[in-house]
Amino acid sequence: MAKATTSPAREQALRDSLRVRYAAAAAAGNIDLKKALNHEATYLGIQLSRIDGSPDNH
């Protein structure tokens, strides 16, 4: 499945939303939500390392 074309502003908004929700899940210790957000990021073609601040492994 090809990634849908999005504007840079929309892509940034998606990253910001994921970042906020991921931080909240991490603060709450909600592993299931963190996994779900990881799946969402993958579906959207966004590298989770850009969300959680961890270094790329590539």
Q: What does the pLDDT look like over 15-53, one tens digit per residue?
A: 999 999 999 999 999 999 999 999 999 998 887 665 555
Rounded to 5, what percent of the chain is helix, strand, coil? 70, 0, 30
pTM above 0.75, yes or no: no
pLDDT greater at residue 8 or residue 47: 8
- Residue 57 pLDDT level (bands cut at 50, 70, 90): very low
Answer positive or negative: Cα dihedral of 50, 51, 55, 58: negative
